[in-house]
Amino acid sequence: MWWYTFAHVVYHLIRWFPKNNRLKIRIVIVLFSFGLLFPQLFVLSREHSTRYCGQHLFDFLIVSIVFTFFMIGFSFIFSLMDPVPWEVKLAFHIFGVIAFVMGLTLTVFASLAVDCRNNTLELYYLSVSAAVLTVTSFAFLMVMIPFWLLNYFFPNSVLNRKERTGVCYEPTACCSCLWHI
């Protein structure tokens, strides 16, 4: 789930910058994205990560690496395309549903893998950190979903900068660093 949330944050973050001055933030985003891939590849390269663990955390690590590559791809596409075509948005949201299922499954398996801490230490802690990121991302999305639905069914009710109205107008007028839907 954190893969979906990261790409979603990149989508909003890149739009804070003017269209003609996004090169530096693109470079930072790509480097940070690959930085998230490095710990996973490090744990994958460790010989004792393949030892037996009853919760199949090694399999989840491989799937997590694949999802991270998808996340990097979506982040890169979102940083280049403005506006983003609806087909890409649809594919991204399908990826989000699959990432939710994967994150939920990983969280359950990581919570049951206490015995794996003894023989696959790095793999266990990487799985626990991914589970924490998944739960955090889920909590963030649960807070945002009512605003998305409200904005979908009642356009400009959440934030309308042009008319200076909406539920979120006052907080964003006082603190422009707050990003909205």
**Looking at the domain assignment, is residue 69 inside a domain?**
yes
SS3 156: coil
Q: Is residue 99 part of a domain?
A: yes
pLDDT at position 164: 63
Task: Report the pLDDT value the prediction gives residue 131, as an integer from 0 to 100.
Answer: 93
Q: Which of 98, 76, 63 is nearest to 27 (CA)?
A: 76
Residue 162 placed within a domain: no
Give SS3 for 165.
strand
| Number of structural domains found in the chain | 1
Q: Give the domain range for residue 71.
A: 2-154
Using an 8 Å Cβ cutoff, are 159 and 168 in contact?
yes
Cβ atoms of 113 and 127 closer than 8 Å: yes
Q: Which band of pLDDT confidence, cut at 50, 70 and 90, is reported for residue 173?
A: low
Residue 51: its pLDDT value, please?
73
Beta-carbon-side half-sphere exposure of residue 90 (alpha carbons within 13 Å): 3
Q: In the numeric block, which tokens belong to residue 46?
A: 């460790």
- In 10 A of CB 67, how many CB atoms? 23
CA distance 175 to 153: 26
Asked, for residue 179, whether it belongs to a domain, the answer is no
Q: Assess if residue 168 is contained within a domain.
A: no
> What is the arithmetic mean of pLDDT over 142-169?
74
d(CA 110, CA 101): 14
Q: Taking 70 as the threshold, does the pLDDT of residue 152 lie above it?
A: yes
Q: Is residue 117 situated within a structural domain? A: yes
CA distances (Å), 26 to each of 44, 151, 176, in order? Answer: 27, 28, 22
Q: What is the DSSP letter of 85?
A: P
pLDDT over 80 (residue 78) = yes
Whole-model pTM?
Answer: 0.82
Sequence-distant (6+) residues with CB within 8 A of 7 are 71, 74, 75, 78, 92
Q: Is 159 inside a domain boundary?
A: no
Say what the pLDDT of residue 166 is: 67
Q: Could you give the CA distance from residue 122 to residue 21 in angstroms, rounded to a whole number?
A: 40
Residue 48 lies in a domain: yes
- The tokens describing 153, both together, are 């069914």
